[in-house]
Structure 1
Amino acid sequence: MTKEPIYRVTFFNQGQIYEIYARQVYQSDLWGFLEVEDFLFGERSQMIVDPAEEKLKNEFAGVQRSFIPMQAVVRIDEVDKEGACKVTEASGGNVTAFPFSMAGAKPHKGK
């Protein structure tokens, strides 16, 4: 029996870096977006509650699928087991979102 993969997705969102875990990650039919489904959060039966993970759990409550812009994605890792989801401030780091604008974009015409 093969085990379903678990993915750690790290991305920028409004000046913060989100790190979430999910079972399904794939390129969206919507151009320029990544789709993330089947979010994984820690068990509620744990004695210690992580406020950052609770914030994310509440933010994604009721969300069946999330569309994340490709340029916001920092990295995607396939991992052996899920960890704690977290949100950290992006300021002061050496990672910057790739600048991207569709304004004025023209279709490419091959030669």
Structure 2
Amino acid sequence: MRIFVENKPVFRVVFINNGKTYEVYANSVHQGHLYGFVEVEELLFDERSGLVVDPAEEKLKAEFEGVSRTNIPLHSVIRIDEVEKQGTAKISELKGDVVTAFPLPRPDKTKG
């Protein structure tokens, strides 16, 4: 996790995780060494010293605390944009009319 650094590209990565849409910002995004994964490094979070705290961003910070690199399955990625400046990382409800997730196998509940 890093504080925003000038002169480095900033990428907005939007992906699906556990039925929610995640939007994170990073300095490095590339095809991972694991087949079918996108590798995201140098995650960026606002390091403001204000009184207003965004609970969604705090949840993301806690979830990715100590993570230097994350691999996101290619079929979970909605889009990756190179942006001019960092925005606020967030988690939102998945809107079914906008994105259809790749079908995932469901566990067989008949097996014990």
Number of aligned residue pairs: give it: 100
**What pairs up with 1:1-111 in 2 under 5 angstroms?**
3-99=7-103
- Any runs of at least 4 consecutive aligned residues in structure 1 with deviations exceeding 6 A, and if so which? none
Distance 1:99 1:92, change over 3 A: closer
Secondary structure of the residue aligned to 1:82 is coil
C-alpha RMSD of the superposition:
1.7
* 8 Å CA contact retained: 1:15, 1:91: no
For normalisation by structure 1, the TM-score amounts to 0.83
Amino acid paired to 1:90: L
Q: Distance in 2 between matches of 1:94 and 1:65?
A: 28
CA offset digits 1:18-75 (Å, max 9, x no partner): 0000000000010000000101001141321100000000000000100000000000
The alignment-based identity, stated in percent, is 55
Unmatched 5+ stretches in structure 2: 1-5, 106-112
Q: Distance in 1 between matches of 2:97 and 2:90?
A: 16
Structure 1 residue 78: Cα displacement: 0.4
- Higher mean C-alpha displacement, 26-35 vs 87-96: 87-96
